[in-house]
């Protein structure tokens, strides 16, 4: 019986050593083996239970002696298994802490570098070009009066050209400006000639929206007043502006155009870069896209601005900067430009990175 006890002890110690060896590398496995050892040795049908069966056949004296040995071994087994199981649990917890370490000093918000909208990029570039040519930047409000949007720009109260601007009116007569030409008038109120100004921003028209028309879009206005200004000066500044934007030769044409505040008036069109002049939805299949209206400032407008048209002359232009951005960046529809869709804007973040300052 003693021999059996010794064998059992040796067997247990060997299996215990195997399980302990797993503690460092595979603590969960060590934990499992601790439980298996408990069932195999201490369980109802385990090795100790087997041993107890043989014990009952022994004489009293031997029973007492062997029983003592059994109890001692059982205590050793119980304590060793419990120790192994505890160490396995601690090792599992340590591993979890190490692998799931959270660095609370890190910024939880993923930082995504911002980028400028293609139309903002276009405005910045245009401002850079015109400032280099001596133009200063002027501003004006989006909510305007009839005076600045129409009357001072030579639109009589019943002038048919008012219908060309489908205007959003507020109760009380104010309106959302339909053109940045309002800025010309505001500049003339403050400046004495000679001067060169540009001004840009949102304009609003109750338009039928399509690939090249939106109800809210952007314009950049320019005006130059000095002695002896002619159409030749206008053409020169338009050419410098376009080659600054496109950094290559672009095909443009001037067509007569009617605006009550200029005489003569023109529309400047460029060969559509979306289709290469073949015709598409953006250029309405004609191969040319209208970029801006321009002309020589009407004497009535100069006069209303306190400038003597006998002494001074000037040119003005108003450009659709969404369309210009579309041509520059190959955008075939104006609508996504104003949709607020970040995926669309992200397309430009790398390609059009523009450093400020």
| Other beta carbons less than 10 A from residue 178's beta carbon | 22
**What is the nearest approach in angstroms of ligand FA5 to the Cβ of residue 326?**
9
Among 48, 320, 327, 352, binds ligand FA5 (CB under 6 A): 320
Binding mask 94-113 for ligand FA5 (x = CB under 6 A): --------------------
Residue 156 burial class via C-beta count within 10 angstroms: exposed 0-12, middle 13-18, buried 19 and up = exposed
**What is the nearest approach in angstroms of ligand FA5 to the Cβ of residue 356?**
26
Size of the site for ligand FA5 (CB under 6 A): 24
**Shorter beta-carbon distance to ligand FA5: residue 219 or 352:** 219
**Shorter beta-carbon distance to ligand FA5: residue 85 or 181:** 181
Of all residues in the shown chain, the one whose CB is closest to ligand FA5 is: 320
Whether residue 165 contacts residue 148, with contact meaning beta carbons closer than 8 Å, is answered with no
295 forms bridges with which residues in the sheet? Answer: 265, 316
Distances (CA, A) of 204 to 83, 127, 177, 340: 79, 22, 6, 17
**Shorter beta-carbon distance to ligand FA5: residue 193 or 293:** 293
End-to-end CA distance of the chain: 94
Label residues 264-273 b or e (16+ Cβ within 10 Å = b): ebbbbbbbbb
Whether residue 118 contacts residue 329, with contact meaning beta carbons closer than 8 Å, is answered with yes
d(CA 38, CA 58): 26
DSSP string, 15-31: HHHHHHHTTTT-HHHHH
**What is the nearest approach in angstroms of ligand FA5 to the Cβ of residue 290?**
4
**What is the nearest approach in angstroms of ligand FA5 to the Cβ of residue 102?**
50
**Shorter beta-carbon distance to ligand FA5: residue 47 or 338:** 338
Contact between 204 and ligand FA5 by CB under 6 A: the answer reads no
Binding mask 226-265 for ligand FA5 (x = CB under 6 A): ---------------------------------x--x--x
| Other beta carbons less than 10 A from residue 105's beta carbon | 5
- Report residue 177 as tokens: 């400006």
**What is the nearest approach in angstroms of ligand FA5 to the Cβ of residue 204?**
9
Among 73, 298, 318, 337, binds ligand FA5 (CB under 6 A): 318
d(CA 322, CA 213): 9
Whether residue 306 contacts residue 188, with contact meaning beta carbons closer than 8 Å, is answered with yes
Contact between 151 and ligand FA5 by CB under 6 A: the answer reads no
Contact between 181 and ligand FA5 by CB under 6 A: the answer reads yes
Q: Which of the stretches 93-101, 114-122, 214-222, 347-355 binds ligand FA5 when contact is defined by CB under 6 A?
A: 214-222
d(CA 272, CA 300): 35
Residue 267 in marked binding region = no
Contact between 214 and ligand FA5 by CB under 6 A: the answer reads yes
E-strand spans in the chain? 136-138, 143-144, 175-176, 195-204, 216-226, 252-256, 262-271, 288-297, 313-320
Residues 6+ apart with CB under 8 A from 290: 267, 268, 269, 320, 323
Among 202, 213, 235, 284, binds ligand FA5 (CB under 6 A): 213
265 forms bridges with which residues in the sheet? Answer: 295
Contact between 325 and ligand FA5 by CB under 6 A: the answer reads no
Contact between 118 and ligand FA5 by CB under 6 A: the answer reads no
Which residues 258-297 are close enough to bind ligand FA5 by CB under 6 A?
Answer: 259, 262, 265, 290-295
Label residues 208-234 b or e (16+ Cβ within 10 Å = b): eeebbebeebbbbbbbbbeeebeeebb
Contact between 323 and ligand FA5 by CB under 6 A: the answer reads yes
Q: Which residues contribute to the site for ligand FA5 (CB under 6 A)?
A: 179, 181, 205, 207, 213-214, 217, 219, 259, 262, 265, 290-295, 316-318, 320, 322-323, 334
The annotated binding site for Mg(2+) is made up of 263
């Amino acid at each position: 019986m003693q021999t059996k006890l010794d064998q059992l002890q040796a067997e247990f110690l060997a299996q215990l050593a195997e399980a302990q060896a797993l503690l460092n590398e595979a603590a969960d496995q060590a934990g499992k083996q601790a439980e298996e050892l408990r069932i195999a040795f201490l369980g109802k049908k385990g090795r100790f239970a087997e041993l107890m069966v043989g014990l009952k056949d022994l004489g009293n004296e031997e029973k007492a002696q062997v029983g003592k040995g059994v109890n001692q071994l059982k205590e050793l087994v119980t304590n060793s298994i419990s120790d192994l199981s505890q160490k396995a649990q601690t090792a599992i917890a340590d591993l979890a802490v190490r692998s799931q370490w959270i660095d609370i000093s890190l910024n939880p918000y993923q930082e995504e570098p911002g980028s400028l909208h293609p139309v903002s990029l276009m405005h910045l570039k245009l401002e850079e070009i015109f400032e280099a040519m001596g133009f200063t930047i002027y501003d004006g409000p989006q909510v305007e009066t009839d005076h600045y949007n129409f009357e001072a720009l030579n639109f009589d109260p019943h002038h048919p050209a008012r219908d060309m601007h489908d205007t959003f009116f507020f109760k009380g007569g104010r309106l959302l400006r339909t053109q940045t030409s309002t800025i010309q008038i505001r500049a003339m109120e403050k400046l004495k000639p000679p001067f060169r100004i540009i001004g840009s921003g949102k304009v609003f028209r109750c338009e039928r929206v399509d690939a090249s028309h939106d109800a809210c879009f952007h314009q950049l206005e320019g005006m130059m007043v000095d002695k002896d200004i002619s159409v030749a000066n206008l053409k020169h500044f338009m050419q410098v502006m376009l080659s600054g934007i496109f950094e290559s030769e672009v095909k443009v044409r001037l067509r007569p155009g009617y605006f009550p505040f200029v005489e003569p008036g023109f529309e400047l069109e460029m060969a559509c870069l979306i289709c290469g002049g073949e015709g598409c939805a953006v250029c309405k299949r004609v191969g040319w896209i209208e970029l801006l209206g321009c002309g020589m400032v009407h004497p009535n407008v100069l006069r209303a601005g306190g400038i003597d048209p006998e002494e001074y002359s000037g040119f003005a232009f108003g450009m659709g900067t969404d369309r210009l951005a579309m041509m520059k960046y190959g955008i075939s529809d104006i609508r996504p430009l104003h949709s607020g869709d970040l995926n669309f804007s992200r397309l430009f973040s790398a390609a059009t990175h523009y450093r400020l300052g």
